[in-house]
């Protein structure tokens, strides 16, 4: 399995459960690892033969920037759904954090994985 990744993608959004969090934009940070077979792209040197991380990032910036989630868990699940469905990614690992959300901590958040070995095997057969 090959992995295409995006690190520390920072996006301003409305997120949180407290009244003040609903009134100001906060930054969330994403680290995203996505399963992809990059062998064809390595041969052709053509973007159409790989997972276009710029397109993924643009889609997530648009979605998260317009969203108003209360919980990072809900945001993470929707992000995973978008990436898997719209970009046909069989497996991903997403770290979504809110920098500065807890005093004394650099950031807090969740790490989720979606997909499984069976889906990876199917993707590699294609």
CATH label of the domain that carries residue 72: 3.30.1130.10
Q: What is the pLDDT of residue 36?
A: 96
Q: What is the pLDDT of residue 124?
A: 59
Find where tokens 């979606």 sit.
114
Average pLDDT, the chain: 93
CB 50 within 8 A of CB 40: yes
Question: pLDDT tens digits for 7-50?
Answer: 999 999 999 999 999 999 999 999 999 999 999 999 999 999 99
Question: pLDDT tens digits for 60-94?
Answer: 999 999 999 999 999 999 999 999 999 999 999 99
Q: What is the pLDDT of residue 78?
A: 98
Q: What is the pLDDT of residue 109?
A: 96
Residues annotated as catalytic are: 98
pLDDT at 121 over 90: no
Residue 71 domain boundaries: 2-125
pTM: 0.89
Number of domains in the chain: 1
Task: Give percent helix, percent strand, percent coil of the chain, each to the nearest 5.
Answer: 40, 35, 25
> Which token pair is 9?
């993608």
Q: What is the pLDDT of residue 1?
A: 85
Running DSSP on this structure, what letter comes out for residue 74? H
pLDDT band at 101 (very low <50, low <70, confident <90, very high): confident
């Amino acid at each position: 399995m090959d992995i295409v990744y995006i690190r520390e993608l920072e996006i301003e959004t409305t997120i949180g459960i407290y009244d003040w969090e609903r009134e100001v934009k906060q930054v969330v940070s994403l680290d995203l690892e996505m399963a992809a077979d990059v062998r064809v792209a390595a041969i052709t040197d053509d973007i159409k033969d790989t997972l276009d991380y710029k397109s993924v990032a643009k889609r997530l910036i648009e979605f998260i920037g317009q969203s108003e989630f209360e919980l990072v868990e809900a945001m993470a699940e929707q992000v995973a759904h978008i990436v898997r469905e719209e970009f046909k990614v069989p497996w991903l690992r997403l770290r979504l954090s809110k920098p500065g959300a807890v005093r004394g901590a650099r950031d807090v958040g969740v790490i989720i994985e979606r997909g499984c070995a069976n889906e990876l095997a199917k993707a590699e057969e294609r």
